[in-house]
Amino acid sequence: MSELEASLYALYWNNSMSVAVITMISYEYILQFEKEVKFVWERQRSVMTYLYLAVRYFGILVVMFSATWGGLVYIPEAVSYGMFLFMQWGFSAYSCLTKVILIWRLYALYNQSKPILYVLMGLLIPIVALYIAVDVFLWSRPSAISIQEITITPNIKYCTAFFHVGPTLAIYTSIPVICYDILLVVLAITLLVKHLKERKELKMKPNTYIVLIVRYHVIYFVLSSLLGGIVGQPFDGSDEYHTVVLRYCAIYYRATSYH
């Protein structure tokens, strides 16, 4: 495959997946909007309400930026670099916000246990610091990442990212995050098992809300682990196809893994 064909192929995949992601996110938003109005906007506001709104609308903002980046809409190289940084930092911020919501849910499920809240929030602080360090070292340094404009014809141009560092650091720094996610999902499953045993002894049906909350914990963990496996694969910065697939796996996971 020639260099021109490879660039056209990458652009085709980017634009096809951009349209698919925008369609899925738009459909999901329209589908959930009525419930959002009923259960969020029309009820008394709380900390969880603001966290939900921050995650939902910040996620939509990040996904729309990501979907338009890389070829669907022509964006100059200088602007593309700024958008790339916003996406990377946005992914990290979104992940931290979702973890705060999961912690708040566990706090409620464990009968507002202060030790649970303090321990989980205390462990989250170094995770946040790790996200910041990785974003600064891997994504915010010109020596680690660069944006290059690919010209196919005078009227067909797009920008892509070229990575100048290997995946080793990203793999190692993801281990504490994975361990933290394991802790959250284990606490959720442990509580569910205890709840199911108690309800079985009383010959009562399980609480639907507890089952749903734990289900979302498990879904978040599975999606997070799958994404971590994709990110951990070695790749060449000039491999636009791999970069496109990685980008949109990350986008869809970040934007739809939490409701």
Which pLDDT tens digit goes with each residue over 134-193? 889 888 888 888 888 888 877 778 888 888 877 777 788 888 988 999 999 999 999 999
- Mean pLDDT calculated for residue range 111-124: 94
Tell me: the pLDDT tens digits for 37-55?
A: 888 888 888 888 888 888 8
- Check: CB of residue 139 under 8 Å from CB of residue 173: no
- Check: CB of residue 144 under 8 Å from CB of residue 137: yes
- The burial class, CB within 10 Å (0-12 / 13-18 / 19+), for 152 is middle
Closest CA to 103 of 94, 88, 93, 113: 113
Backbone angles phi, psi at 147, to 5 degrees: -110, 130
Helix, strand, or coil here: 160?
strand
What's the pTM?
0.80
CA dist., res. 120 & res. 104, Å (int): 9
CA dist., res. 106 & res. 109, Å (int): 5
Tell me: the pLDDT tens digits for 189-219?
A: 999 999 999 998 888 888 888 888 888 888 8
